[in-house]
Amino acid sequence: MSKLTAAREAEISGRLLKHWHEAVPNDRMAHLVKDTARSFLRSLQARLAPHGVSLGHWTFLRILWEGDGLTQRELSHEAGVMEPTTLIALRAMEALGYIKRERMEGNRKNLYVYLTPAGRALRKKLVPLAEEVNALAMRGLDEAAAATTRRSLLVMLDNLAGDGLLSDAQTENGVL
């Protein structure tokens, strides 16, 4: 990371910390979760960049490491992004040699996405970087606090998954 980028990251982190610790420590939970997630992603991106992997590619790689052979539409849905975004990312990942896209006999409509050996090999290099970010974030939390945080976030996730308005809006906007 360049000195300029490191200085910018430190400035952003400083502003976030001041906001949460001093300015509005009781701001809405959604804002805290969003800012925490952004901090996770910035730390991860700083570790992925030397390997030439973007956060967008990381998202798709993680899904494909769990089971490739998905259609582009299934990948979009799993990643929570629109299909045009997926298409752009997959074209770039194909050019980098991480994936290949193939049509199946008898189904010329769908493109299926498979990891190449190079894409599969990235797992051993990149997963430890994500684990490093998680360990950094969890430093200072005992096991009980970490378990409580995990349970709390899962309850929130479950509650929001049941939001009827969300399901209706996604269907209307073609996300699902």
Query: Residue ranges of the domains in the chain?
Result: 1-51, 53-124, 140-176
Sheet containing 70-71: give its strands across.
70-71, 107-115, 99-104
For residues 115 and 64, the answer to whether their CB atoms sit within 8 Å is yes
Residue 99 phi/psi, 5-degree rounding, is -140, 165
Select the CATH number that applies to the domain covering 53-124 from these four: 3.30.70.360, 1.10.10.10, 3.40.50.1820, 2.60.40.3140.
1.10.10.10
Could you read off the pLDDT of 121-174 as tens digits, one per residue? 999 999 999 999 999 999 999 999 999 999 999 999 888 888 888 765 555 554
pLDDT digits over 45-84, tens only? Answer: 999 999 999 999 999 999 999 998 999 999 999 999 999 9
Alpha-carbon span 22 to 30, nearest angstrom: 18
